[in-house]
């Protein structure tokens, strides 16, 4: 599975592409950051993020896009910019029919480091180790994007299989309720 991880942000939007499957070695395909100037108007910054993400998607052809779920912060301006960048990433993926999954920061930390309370340094160290990199990815936004991709490969794949199994179960139950009565043997009553 090839996953594009996106750590949304207006100034630095981290992007990382990872190939892998649960229980198998992971491979980093590419990592980077889409940058926009802080002094530029927000609509122009969002256009730049869109162009950058579309280039990443077109170049690396991910099967899934994993985005960090926006969570409440004390600084409303920061959370708004993060949410806007996140929406652009969702739009770019949806436009191409690529499934989008959101993962919370604590879910990503737990998947990569084993602790939902891990700090950035611990997450970066584990990303470096799991992907067998010579040096930690920089800046932190890039490392976070790789962590999102890893999280989805390990956790998202299992979640997808569970959802598919539940859907099959619901379909089987619905078929049983509608078809079974028609297949039941008829009782003939003789006068």
Classify residue 87 as exposed, middle or buried by CB count within 10 Å of its CB (0-12, 13-18, 19+). middle
Residue 171 domain flag: no
Split at pLDDT 50, 70, 90, the class of 75 is confident
Residue-range definition of the domain harbouring residue 103: 2-157
State the catalytic residues: 7, 68, 141
DSSP annotation of 139: S
Task: List pLDDT tens digits, range 2-60.
Answer: 999 999 999 999 999 999 999 899 999 999 999 999 999 999 999 999 999 999 999 99
Cα–Cα distance for residue pair 107/131, rounded to 1 Å: 19
CA distances from 96 to 91, 144, 155 (A): 9, 24, 23
- CATH number at 72 reads 3.30.420.10
pLDDT digits (tens, 9 = 90+) for 97-155: 999 999 999 999 999 999 999 999 999 999 999 999 999 999 999 999 999 999 999 98
Residue 106 resides in a domain: yes
Three-point CA angle 39, 41, 43, nearest 5°: 145
Could you say which DSSP state residue 152 is in? I
Residue 143 falls inside a structural domain = yes
Q: Is the pLDDT of residue 160 over 90?
A: no
The domain total for the chain is: 1
């Amino acid at each position: 599975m090839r996953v594009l991880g996106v750590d949304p942000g207006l100034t630095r939007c981290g992007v990382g592409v990872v190939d892998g499957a649960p229980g198998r070695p992971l491979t980093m395909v590419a990592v980077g950051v889409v940058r926009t100037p802080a002094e530029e108007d927000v609509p122009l910054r969002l256009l730049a993020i869109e162009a950058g993400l579309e280039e990443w998607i077109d170049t690396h052809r991910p099967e899934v896009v994993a985005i960090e779920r926006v969570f409440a912060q004390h600084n409303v301006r920061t959370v708004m910019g993060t949410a806007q960048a996140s929406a652009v990433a969702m739009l770019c993926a949806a436009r191409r029919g690529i499934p989008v999954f959101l993962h919370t920061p604590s879910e990503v930390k737990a998947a990569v480091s084993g602790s939902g309370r891990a700090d950035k340094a611990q997450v970066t160290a584990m990303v470096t180790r799991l992907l067998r990199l010579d040096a930690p990815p920089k800046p932190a936004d890039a490392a976070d994007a790789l962590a999102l991709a890893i999280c989805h490969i390990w956790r998202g794949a299992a979640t997808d299989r569970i959802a598919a199994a539940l859907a099959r179960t619901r379909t089987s139950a619905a078929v049983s309720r509608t078809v079974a009565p028609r297949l039941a043997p008829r009782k003939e009553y003789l006068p």
